[in-house]
Amino acid sequence: MDSKRFHFRAWTMLVLLALIMAAYAVVLFDLQVVQGSYYKEQSTRKIANTETVQAARGEVLDRFGRVLVSNRATYQVTLDVKLLGDVQKRNQTILELLKICREQGVSWNDSLPISSGPAFSFTTAMPFQSVTADEDGKEKTSDTRLYQLLKKLKPAGFPLTVPEGGALNDLATADAVMAALRSAFQVEENLSDTEARALVGVLYELSLRSQEISYTSYVFARDVDVEFITVVKERKLSGVKIDTVTVRQYETAYAAHILGRVGAIQNWESYRDKGYSLSDNVGLSGVESAFESLLRGTPGTKDVELSQSGKVVSESWHLDEETGEVLSPKPGNNLMLTLDIDLQEVVEEALERYIPGMTEESQVGACVVMDMTGGVLAAASYPTYDLSTYTQDYNDLLTDPLKPMFNRAFQGLYAPGSTFKPLVAIGALQEGVVTVREKIQDTGRYKHYDRIEDQPMCWIYRQYGSTHGYENVTEAIRDSCNVYFYEAGIRLGIAKLDEYAAAFGLGELTGLELYEARGEVAGPATSAKYDQEWYEGEVMYAAIGQGNTQITLVQLCNYIATLVNGGTHYPAHLLKTVKTNDFSQVVEEYRPQVRGQVEIAPENLEAIKQGMALAADQYFTGLPVQVGAKTGSAQVAGHEEANAVMVVFAPYDDPEIAIATVVEQGGAGARIADIAAEIIEYYFSARDVMDAPAAEGTLVR
């Protein structure tokens, strides 16, 4: 009985095993024979893709090689249109990614000019058509990227033609544009307006890139952390890539207005034909913008093969078929500036310490320090900001009434006041209308024009009812005697005065590589510009730096450098040296180019310098070198206190630096002498330390 049962079970097991083996054989036959070619094709099919790999930007250094801006490695999230799938899958993937961003507190790139939530409004005054100026200053009208996309999508019911008598920018409301884009991108109706806006913003970016033949990827988020990346990878979202890139690392908290920022392209038309991708970062301000072509480097091209699921199968640098060159990225050049970052720190801290509280009104100001050939050693605008926290601080900076993002050193326009008098003195001496020994009487009131009812006065007469008596040019500069310079201005005439002002670079661009204001000098042409009539007697006010004269601080500093170096006028500049990324070769080295020569007789120059030295003796004591200075104050409409201005040069015998400082509503120019004193003290003391020989056994770089 047991034997029969055993044989039955054994045969049963053999039959079941045979059936299983037969089933496996059928399946294997179907896979390998019947559908073998299909699965072979699927397993070997790859998606070929070409990617642009951005090169690391060059570093920015100061004149002594101290690194100011470098790079650090980080991660960015990129969306690839070709791997996001169909419309439904694409939208779900993006919504999931946006949800992760909100959970992790990560912001994403979105340039759609519509507010982030209802009621929708445009975030730009001209959403459909913009007006820009070409290289010749002529206005150029062009369609915005939003309008170009709408014309391509042709959303149903959206008006693409302008009503009669209307303007293109009155085409439709923001709500209408949102509704049109929701329809065109097939956004689900059950999504809230806020969620739909976020999704449409990303789809807008993807659509912009789909119009560019060679650009399919979109940098969704930059500089994300490992925690965010971990969450994204866990969700296994198709078409979402994590790339390692470099971003700017700021090694100093100073010189924000000079160094500038890097960010997304804001004017695509300017970069389209220069080899840029729509997702590239570019210099937006400061040195980063001015020297973009030197710092950027050359992007590389990578060949990437992907599986159907979007996984990377292989990667290699693209080989140029014509040249045989491997197209790997080449880092940008390193930029060495004329800036001394330690001096910059001294200047910024001095402004921060002295400006608040100088008067009840004083809150803002600026200072420029320059060498005798126009090299900017320091340029500070107060208040300032920190580039490393710019993004977090942006809203506060934007709404701050003191406008900390405004660069007063290069863009602020100020009446020079009495700091203009040395220029008038040089003009009058060189033209022979006064001599170094001639004395002019200060009568308190200047009575050259008897018909003037309110005759101009010297400041000492206005304040104390006294006069300076008879003074020569040196004494007049020392005492800042208005009557002397009224007379010198009348004798010189406005045409010659303006000629000398232009020769010293006032009212003209200095040649600085960064954006600067032009300014203007009082005269018939300037008055005509404002539809004002010019009267002969106005030359008196022009001669003391008043009237319509408005110049930048960098112009003022450059004028003083030109004056005390003997009249050689150099352009202002920040570039010192450009070196390859590995510092092995010099690509470019700045060589001073003379813009003009102001003829100044040695006797005349010495008379002016002596006057400035005597003026400096009233404010400066205990400095390591003798200096020359001139103060100024200029009344500003609507303010009780005048702007305080001061120019200084040092050393007296062989000038090396010029300093120009302004404090808005700072009162008398003498009040800012402490700022200049700290700069001079540091500059000459630090130089002595730097020039000292290294001790024996010290490692020298």
Instruction: Choose the weakest-confidence range: 74-88, 189-203, 205-219.
Output: 205-219
Q: Which residues of 250-260 are buried (b: 16+ CB within 10 A; e: fewer)?
A: bebebbbbbbb
Q: Is the pLDDT of residue 608 over 90?
A: yes
Q: How confident is the model at residue 652 (pLDDT cuts 50, 70, 90)?
A: very high
Alpha carbon of 552 to those of 98, 405, 449, 605: distances in Å?
47, 17, 32, 24
Q: What 3-state DSSP class applies to 245?
A: strand
Q: What pLDDT is attached to residue 158?
A: 81
Inside any domain, residue 52: no
SS3 string, 276-319, reads CCCCCEEECCHHHHHCHHHHCCECEEEEEEECCCCCEEEEEECE
Of 79 and 693, more confident: 79
Closest CA to 77 of 225, 262, 200: 225
pLDDT at 41: 52
Pairwise CA distance, residues 330 & 54, whole Å: 9
For the chain, give the mean pLDDT.
88
pLDDT value at position 53?
A: 74
Q: What is the pLDDT of residues 375-402, one digit of tens each?
A: 999 999 999 999 999 988 988 999 999 9
**pLDDT exceeds 60 at position 42:** no
Has residue 11 been placed in a domain?
Answer: no
Residue 697: pLDDT over 50: no
pLDDT (average), residues 434-439: 97
Strands (E), 18-94: 47-53, 60-61, 67-80
Give me the mean pLDDT over the 620-636 stretch: 93
Token pair listed for 522: 């009082």
Confidence band of 597 (pLDDT split at 50, 70, 90): very high
Q: How confident is the model at residue 689 (pLDDT cuts 50, 70, 90)?
A: low
pLDDT tens track for 130-160: 876 554 556 778 888 888 888 888 887 787 7
Token representation of residue 694? 């290294």
**How high is the pLDDT of residue 187?**
92
Nearest CA-CA partner of 557 in 373, 343, 313, 692: 373
The pLDDT value given to residue 31: 63
CA distance 684 to 654: 13
DSSP state of 100: H
- Running DSSP on this structure, what letter comes out for residue 437? S
Q: What is the mean pLDDT of residues 40-57?
A: 67
Residue 170 is given by DSSP the state G
Q: What is the pTM of this model?
A: 0.83
Radius of gyration over alpha carbons of the chain, in Å?
Answer: 35
- Whether 240 is in a domain gets the answer no
Give the pLDDT band of residue 700 (cuts 50, 70, 90).
Answer: very low
Q: What is the pLDDT of residue 694?
A: 42
Kindly give, in sequence order, each residue whose CB lies less than 8 Å from that of residue 61, ignoring residues fewer than 6 positions away.
67, 68, 334, 335, 336, 337
Please state the rounded mean pLDDT for residues 315-334: 80
Residue 192 domain-assigned?
yes
For residue 308, tell me if it sits in a domain: no
Residue 227 in any domain: the answer is no
Residue 270 confidence (pLDDT): 82
CA–CA gap between residue 634 and residue 418 (Å, rounded): 8
Q: According to the model, what pLDDT value does residue 564 have?
A: 98
For the residues 338-366, what does the mean pLDDT come to? 95
Reply yes or no on whether the pLDDT at 258 is more than 60.
yes
What integer pLDDT is reported at residue 353 of this predicted model? Answer: 95
What would the DSSP string read from start to end of 178-199? HHHHHHHTT--TTS-HHHHHHH
Higher per-residue confidence, 176 vs 11: 176
Residue 582 lies in a domain: no
Q: How many CB atoms lie within 10 A of CB 294?
A: 18
Q: Per-residue pLDDT tens for 16-35?
A: 787 888 777 777 777 677 66
Q: What is the dihedral of CA 144, 148, 149, 152, to 10 degrees?
A: 170
Mean pLDDT of 196-207: 92
Burial of 509 (0-12, 13-18, 19+ CB in 10 A): middle
Label residue 416 exposed, middle or buried (CB < 10 Å: 0-12, 13-18, 19+).
Answer: buried
Contact 184, 153 (CB under 8 A): yes
Side-chain-facing half-sphere of 659: CA atoms under 13 Å: 31
Residue 397's identity, in one-letter code, is L
Handedness of CA 633, 634, 639, 644 (dihedral sign): negative
Number of folded domains that form the chain: 1
Cα–Cα distances in Å, from 373 out to 460, 655, 658? 37, 11, 10
Where does the pLDDT of residue 698 fall: very low under 50, low under 70, confident under 90, or very high at 90 and above? very low
CA atoms within 13 A on the CB side of 73: 4
Minimum mean pLDDT range among 33-42, 228-237, 341-350, 369-378: 33-42
Partners of 281 in the β-ladder: 264
Token code pair at residue 563? 């004056």
Contact 569, 503 (CB under 8 A): yes
Residue 583 pLDDT level (bands cut at 50, 70, 90): very high
For residue 426, tell me if it sits in a domain: no
Tokens for 298, please give them.
């050359």
pLDDT of 649 strictly over 70: yes
Strands 334-337 and 60-61: parallel
Query: What are the pLDDT digits (tens) for 403-430?
Result: 999 999 999 999 999 999 999 999 999 9
Question: If you average pLDDT over each of 84-88, 279-283, 447-451, 526-530, which comes out highest?
Answer: 526-530
Domain residues for the domain of 173 are: 81-213
Could you read off the pLDDT of 519-561 as tens digits, one per residue?
A: 999 999 999 999 999 998 899 999 999 999 999 999 999 999 9
Mean pLDDT of 363-367: 97
In whole angstroms, what is the distance from residue 180 CA to residue 152 CA?
A: 12
HSE-up of 52 (CA within 13 Å, CB side)? 18
pLDDT at 203 over 70: yes
